[in-house]
């Protein structure tokens, strides 16, 4: 799928919404220098083309009781599409897995997992992660402290008008 073309106004809209997704259309339009109607059209186009994938609040994991973050490297014993799809579907059904990536290197997948504490993670590992389809090896690393949390994408690094 080709990348949607965006201009300076679109970048301004995206930057503003990454900082504050609760902006009203009027405030957003004012911030990027457009009138409300064209601004709303642009936002809807960015949503329809999938550039804006959704909206949500960033929560403090510790304050909501999910103070343990683990990065779990998973190696699998298969390399075919059907088995990969089974694994990916099982991971999507696991709410504790907040992100999953296919990676290069020693492991095949990298999972970001949240849990209330080490005991809860241990149960999750034994009762769920190790039982995912095709799992051959698992290595866990634990976040000790957040240095930089997930944040806005650096749109100024994108070249050529496509995002």
- Domain ranges for the chain: 8-57, 68-142
CATH class of 8-57: mainly alpha
May I ask the CATH architecture of the domain 68-142?
Answer: 2-Layer Sandwich (3.30)
CB 162 within 8 A of CB 5: yes
Q: Confidence class of residue 160 from pLDDT cuts 50, 70 and 90?
A: low
Q: What is the pTM of this model?
A: 0.85
* 8-57 matches 68-142 in fold: no
Give 98-156 pLDDT, tens digit per residue.
999 999 999 999 999 999 999 999 999 999 999 999 999 999 999 999 999 888 888 88
- Find the Cα–Cα–Cα–Cα dihedral 131, 136, 141, 142, rounded to 10°: 0
User: What is the predicted pLDDT for the residue at 162?
Assistant: 52
């Amino acid at each position: 799928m080709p990348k949607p073309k965006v201009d300076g106004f679109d970048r301004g809209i995206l930057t503003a919404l990454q900082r504050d997704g609760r902006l009203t259309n009027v405030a957003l339009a004012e911030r990027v220098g457009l009138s409300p109607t064209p601004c709303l059209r642009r936002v809807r186009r960015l949503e329809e083309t999938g550039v804006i994938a959704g909206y949500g609040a960033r929560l403090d994991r510790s304050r909501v009781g999910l103070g343990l973050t683990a990065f779990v490297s998973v190696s699998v014993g298969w390399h075919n599409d059907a088995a990969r799809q089974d694994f990916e579907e099982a991971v999507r059904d696991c709410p504790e897995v907040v992100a999953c990536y296919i990676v290069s290197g020693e492991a095949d997948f990298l999972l970001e997992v949240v849990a209330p504490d080490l005991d809860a993670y241990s149960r999750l590992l034994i009762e769920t992660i190790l039982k995912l389809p095709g799992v051959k090896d698992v290595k866990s690393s634990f976040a000790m402290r957040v240095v930089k949390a997930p944040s806005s994408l650096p749109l100024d690094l994108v070249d050529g008008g496509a995002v």
